[in-house]
């Protein structure tokens, strides 16, 4: 891809906007179309675009395997631990109402954290799948 100048320039220009759009979709899940899964896929799509144009090595330089693995485990743990915090605060398992002084604010905070966990896990899983298939060796 060294000789495709237009692709390289446009990818570098578009990359932050795609990430920003992924964050927008993540946090507007309760007001419009969006949510954790969609945002995670858009986030991963930006990195996949980058690695298709600039090579898998440079993309793995930015996101090494350890960080992606921690992302997969960490997102799922965030989701489950929000529920455990609700258990410790006295309510049922994923009942977000006691997480703040008002029930409404507590529900909002609970859904925010849960969707964040889902988004982190989905983005890490998509990127791990792409890097696994792209760096497969026949040995």
Contact residues: other proteins, CB under 8 A: 31-33, 35, 37, 69-70, 72-74, 76-77, 80-81, 83-84, 87, 91-97, 122, 129, 132-133, 136, 138
Comparison of 77 and 113: residue with beta carbon closer to other proteins:
77
Q: What is the rounded CA–CA span in Å between residue 39 and residue 96? A: 22
Shortest Å, Cβ 106 to other proteins: 11
Q: Which of 44, 29, 18, 21 is nearest to 115 (CA)?
A: 29
Shortest Å, Cβ 53 to other proteins: 23
Shortest Å, Cβ 26 to other proteins: 15
The per-residue DSSP string of 84-105 comes to HHHHHTTS-TT--GGGSSSHHH
């Amino acid at each position: 891809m060294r000789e495709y100048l237009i692709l390289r320039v446009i990818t570098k220009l578009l990359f932050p906007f795609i990430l920003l759009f992924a964050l927008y979709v993540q946090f507007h899940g309760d007001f419009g179309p969006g949510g954790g899964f969609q945002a995670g896929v858009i986030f991963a799509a930006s990195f996949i675009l980058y690695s298709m144009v600039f090579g898998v090595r440079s993309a793995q330089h930015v996101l090494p395997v350890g960080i992606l693995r921690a992302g997969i485990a960490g997102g799922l743990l965030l989701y489950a631990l929000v529920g455990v915090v609700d258990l410790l605060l006295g309510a049922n398992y994923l009942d977000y109402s006691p997480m703040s002084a008002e029930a409404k604010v507590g529900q909002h905070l609970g859904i925010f954290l849960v969707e964040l966990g889902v988004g982190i896990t989905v983005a890490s899983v998509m990127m791990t799948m792409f890097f696994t298939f792209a760096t497969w060796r026949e040995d």
